Structure 1
Amino acid sequence: MVYLNEVCVLDFNTGDKRQLWSTLRSVQRFLKAQGYKRGSRKGSSTYHLSKANAEARNAYVRRMNAIIDTTDRPHVVYTDESYIHHHYKSHHQSLYDPNDTQSTATKEKHKGRRYCFVAAMLDSPTMDSKIMALDIFTGGKSKAKEPKDYHGMFDTDYYVAWFKRLLDEMEASEIANAWIVLDNAKYHKSLPKSTPTSGRRKSVLVDACKAFDIKTTGNEYKSELWGLLSTYIKANIKPMIVDMAERRGHSVVFTPPHHSDLQPIETVWAIVKGEVGRQYDDMTKFPEVKVRLEAAFANLKPDSIKGCVRSVQEKLKLLHEHLAQVDALESESSAASGNSSDDDSDSD
């Protein structure tokens, strides 16, 4: 509404609450009369990528696409976290009597407690694909004590300890010089605990500048000191797991935001959850879910895992071709625009 007021479609005093709410109600009635509805549109969702996210996507596609068909490609280890609810099932009762107007389908309100799990998935040119470092756990003694977002069940300390376990398993399996692929979760990018933060006292930031040999005049405000430090930290201090991986000879590759479809382990999660969900009935106890989940992981065949990877590789190829075509069209457009400008100059 503020925008409509700015472009003179509406005229009201934004500082007057009575006018503001009166105008809002009028706009709502108008939109309703025009047939607009509140809520999400049915169908697929799309994201408008920021420039930074688009650049991250392009860099990831270029890097991963380059190794798809090479004979000397590195081992790639995909990692991710997920969860499954006590009452998760892959089927729903959909049979109903169309003449029964009293019976209405209701949405489940209680999904029960959940098991969180984290694992890695190996894709190798010389070894069978497999699941590594699987860990399944609950995050609270009751449903009420669990965070709403399952990512809240993971933290830096837990993930660093799990990542060390993964590196140890990779070493035991003689997996060297691997690419470890993971998403941009906050705890994946945690810096060492000694790294200064913007919330620290000014004296701490001054000492940090001295420790990092950052030149200051002594007259800077705290915000200016943090600006100097944040620039240095971004350029010189690596996330803990990146440093851990590099010390073992591996590289960490972060997937681009909003592109979970480029993570083959997501498809593995769907396979595993589907197997657990198909076994659910009203008598299923919470501990049985873990037993079935462990069995579902154990039943994964190397060919099934490899198939998930191949599916994503096909998507990578298509996306790479699309981006290359976009570049070619933009180059042609720029060249045509340049020629047009030259012709105009000649005519003058």
Structure 2
Amino acid sequence: MDYHGNFNAEIFEDLFSTLCETLHEKYGPVNIHMDGASYHKRRVENIPTSSTKKQEIVEWLTAHNISFSNELRKPELLELVQMHKEKPIEGVWAVVKGEVARSGPHPNLLSIRNTLLDAFKNKINSKVILGLWRKTLKNAKAYFEADENANLIGEESDDYSDTDDDV
């Protein structure tokens, strides 16, 4: 919600979708850059933090099919969360580091720095960003589907019955 209390991410997304469609119809493809206003973004999924209860962390790990030992303590479970959460920025780094690796040996740190800056400037473009965004969206959809298809412990299922009526 913005500081006036009358605008949130849901309203923004609706307006922004309409704006994008209108711009595309009138002008073709356009690039739009936004600031970090709170209503320009929202979390699709709440990722556990140090203030999250241990049981909720366990549920998050289980929902994401991440194996763990029941003996792990909360800090160790949080390490697993950090290792497995989606990090789209890692895709950007992979492109940049790949360029540095392909450029061969470097005589000094300044050479590496310049290669990094050139890679950011020349290789990280809207096509790369869009590809990473699509990959992240695909993963998010897979998480939602996994969550929807998962049976919770104690949840009744048609596959198994506690009664002898089926015999």
Larger Rg: 1
Q: Which has a greater percent of helix?
A: 2
Higher relative contact order (CA closer than 8 Å, sequence separation 6+): 1
Q: Which has a greater percent of strand?
A: 1
